[in-house]
Amino acid sequence: MNRLIHLSGRTLALLLIVLPVSLFALYLGLVARDRFVSESVISVRQASSSAASAIPGAALLLAGINPPAHEDTLYLRSFIHSQALALELDRTLGLRKHFADLGADLPNQLPADASTEQFVAYFRDRVELGFDDRAALLTVRTQGLDPAFAQRFNAAVLDASERFVNETSHRIARERLSFAEGELQIAAQRVEAAAGAVLSFQSKNRLLDPGLQTQAAGMLTAELQANRARLEAELGGLRGFLNEEAYQVQALKARIAAVDRQIDAERRRATAEDTKGNRLNKQALDFEALKLKAEFARDAYKLALAAVENARIEAHQKIKSLAIVEPPSLPETAEYPLVAYDMGTLIAICVLLFAIVRLVLATIREHQD
């Protein structure tokens, strides 16, 4: 312990600065493998940004918000770092085999017996993602032990991303269209059922339209009453100069009696019950209710049909695609290891450690004295 306390500054510098920096320099120069980086820039775009429905009423069946492009790009970023993509690219590119062949560069080597979790974590370190929130651009940087593999790695990530965007947008469009078509089918069944109920009522009661028949009976009764009033006036005129036994008076009274019988007959017909106990006025009310249901079903069918057409239009407008702003580059020089940065960082740490240790030792010596 005393020997450690009384170490000279030069010895401490050799142990804490020169030796670590020299060993790290040997590692960077002789052991560390070069890693090349291929870079591309992508974004998610859609055919149309219009989210408003062009058909009135369609929003009742199809409601939704068109997500902005940067949200879709964020979803894509999560997919690129997903376990599913890591395992897929391992099957197609042999990532485990490629990054396990680093020789003595153990710090950057993927263990041959690495678990799935370890492999996914390593994969995420080798696929760097940068997101520009203002322009909704995603920068994809993939590493490889040679330029060609780094570029091929990047291209494979972009191919998988394009499939993901296409499949997701088409699946959403199919779901929206399928929902609208299902509503249309239900509406068509309701129209058919309502029309069948109207036909069944007409066949059962042998009436085309009880409402029209009731209206016609009312008009006939009103006409008979007007005719009776006219005959009564004519009878009053005849009584002014003829007695009750006169032929003209008797004939006119007979006509009035016939009209009264006709009026009573029409009134009884309007309120009379058929063989099943149904009255014409009640039948008219029931038939009117069936007609209203049929009209409502037809209106709902028109709305559902408009929603299907609107869903087809929106499905085309909202189809998303992957826009490749910059294709995968073919690197010419290795980007990793970052020799200057790593050496500078290590030197700074070593110098700081040297200063701390020297200060501590000086404090201890001062207390001993």
Whether residue 288 has pLDDT greater than 80: no
What confidence tens digit (pLDDT) does each residue in 201-257 have?
A: 777 766 656 555 666 666 767 787 888 888 778 777 777 777 777 777 788 778 888
What confidence tens digit (pLDDT) does each residue in 168-203 have?
A: 877 777 777 778 778 888 888 888 888 887 777 777
Identify whether the C-beta of residue 41 lies closer than 8 Å to the C-beta of residue 323.
no
Q: Is this structure's pTM higher than 0.75?
A: no
> Which long-range CB contacts under 8 A does 351-359 form with residues at least 24 apart?
351/17, 353/16, 354/12, 354/13, 354/16, 354/17, 357/12, 357/16, 358/9, 358/12
Q: How far apart are CA 130 and CA 139, in angstroms?
A: 5
Amino acid at the residue 17: I
Mean pLDDT of the chain: 79
Whether residue 299 has pLDDT greater than 50: yes
- What is the enclosing helix (H) or strand (E) of 301? helix 280-317
Higher pLDDT, 44 or 363: 44
